[in-house]
Structure 1
Amino acid sequence: MTEDRPYHHGDLPRALLAGAAEIVAERGPAALSLRDLARRTGVSHAAPAHHFGDKTGLFTALATEGFTLLAAALGGPPSGLRDLGRRYVAFALDHPSHFAIMYRRDLVHTDDPALTAAKQDAYAPLRAAVGGDDEDAVLAAWSLAHGYATLALAGAVPGDAARFPDIARAAKSLGA
């Protein structure tokens, strides 16, 4: 290893994911290259591929981490759908790089078991709050929260982006 690439010890996969999140935040997912990530992290150019296989594997790990963080953000006793909506928007604003990758089926291995499990864990609080069996209501509530978060990240929500509409009333008005 050369002096400009010091030996990296500790949790290298975690450091690579953090570096990937930084690159996505700065320049978007299309700008990420494993070679650039290795340079930024201070490791050999082969290190990201060793841990994640390829760029899709790296994005899959980043999305899995995002859904795990989302599950934690939505966990705990909610005080209704509006509270879950606020938590969802807060997660998106706090983790925009993860949010940018999590729903991009073209960037991840959609059949990855860890990703599938993390998604299920993240959606469990919403299903529980809606009542579990009404998939249309779950989809309507999720769509409202996701759409609001997307608008907030784009700067299209006037005023305080943490403000969140009454999602239960909005979902009911959609017939959910």
Structure 2
Amino acid sequence: MPDRPFHHGNLRAVLLDQAEAVLRERGLDGLSLRELAREAGVSHGAPRKHFIDRNALLDALAERGFVRLADEIHQAAAHAPDHAHALQAAGSAYVRFAVKEPALLDLMFAAKVDAPSEAVRTAAERLFAAMADIMSAGVEAGVYDASDVDRLTLVLSATVQGTASLIASRRITTSQGEGLIKDAITLFLAGASTAH
């Protein structure tokens, strides 16, 4: 069968969109560059112009996931009236992402942990920077000391990631996860106020 001609203006974006859909529907094992090329209607070699191999595709998916999650957290927290609501909004955004994209979340935090590419590492740092920005706003609001921001950012990140993982693995429901986030933030803020 002859190769079909390339006809997409932005094949990379098309392949990533399709790869996310496959990841949602069939999981990580269902991803193949050849199959994505077939579904995109391009030659089986066309994806290699953007992704040298399957691992490069997985890196790009993880990078895209970190960037999207960071943006969603930033947007959610930006509209909050105060720090407590910003924490809740960030936690809720994280949970929504976990519910919608459990396989992508797993790829981001489990499959790409060992020797991540520079792009994946940078994208992950963007997510943690979004969380740090929220914590820094708490410093400005007088909730925390500036010296606590790094530690509190890790605690917040671990809390929302752990809750998201429990939801994604169906150990708890989404509403239970939202309740856990709310309870954790209440304890988080109570602990911060007693530390002053």
Q: TM-score, normalised by structure 2?
A: 0.74
**Matched letter for residue 58 of structure 1:** L
Does the 8 Å CA contact 2:73/2:130 hold for their aligned counterparts? yes
User: Residues 15 and 133 (structure 1 numbering): CA distance in 2 closer, same or farther, change over 3 Å?
Assistant: farther
Q: Deviation at 1:136?
A: 2.9
Unpaired runs of 5+ residues, structure 1, are none
Q: Could you tell me which residue of structure 2 aligns to residue 45 of structure 1?
A: 44
Are 2:143 and 1:128 equivalent residues in the alignment?
no
| 1:102-160 deviation per Cα after TM superposition (whole angstroms, max 9, x unaligned) | 11354786132x32332222222311223465333222211111111122222222363
Does the 8 Å CA contact 1:62/1:98 hold for their aligned counterparts? yes
Q: Could you tell me which residue of structure 2 aligns to residue 168 of structure 1?
A: 185
Larger Rg over CA atoms? 2
Equivalent runs, 1:1-176 vs 2, <5 Å? 2=2, 5=4, 7-76=6-75, 77=78, 78=80, 79-106=85-112, 110-112=116-118, 114-131=119-136, 133-134=147-148, 135-158=150-173, 160=175, 163-164=178-179, 165-166=181-182, 167-171=184-188
**Matched letter for residue 120 of structure 1:** E
In 2, the alpha carbon distance for the partners of 1:59 and 1:106 equals 8
User: Residues 107 and 84 (structure 1 numbering): CA distance in 2 closer, same or farther, change over 3 Å?
Assistant: closer
In 2, the alpha carbon distance for the partners of 1:91 and 1:43 equals 31
Does the 8 Å CA contact 1:52/1:58 hold for their aligned counterparts? yes
SS at 2:171 equivalent: coil
* Number of aligned residues: 174
User: Residues 156 and 6 (structure 1 numbering): CA distance in 2 closer, same or farther, change over 3 Å?
Assistant: farther
Does the 8 Å CA contact 1:59/1:107 hold for their aligned counterparts? no
User: Residues 54 and 133 (structure 1 numbering): CA distance in 2 closer, same or farther, change over 3 Å?
Assistant: farther
Q: Deviation at 1:81?
A: 1.7
In 2, the alpha carbon distance for the partners of 1:126 and 1:30 equals 31
**Matched letter for residue 38 of structure 1:** A
Does the 8 Å CA contact 1:110/1:116 hold for their aligned counterparts? yes
Q: Deviation at 1:30?
A: 2.5
Percentage of identical aligned residues: 31
Q: Could you tell me which residue of structure 1 aligns to residue 141 of structure 2?
A: none
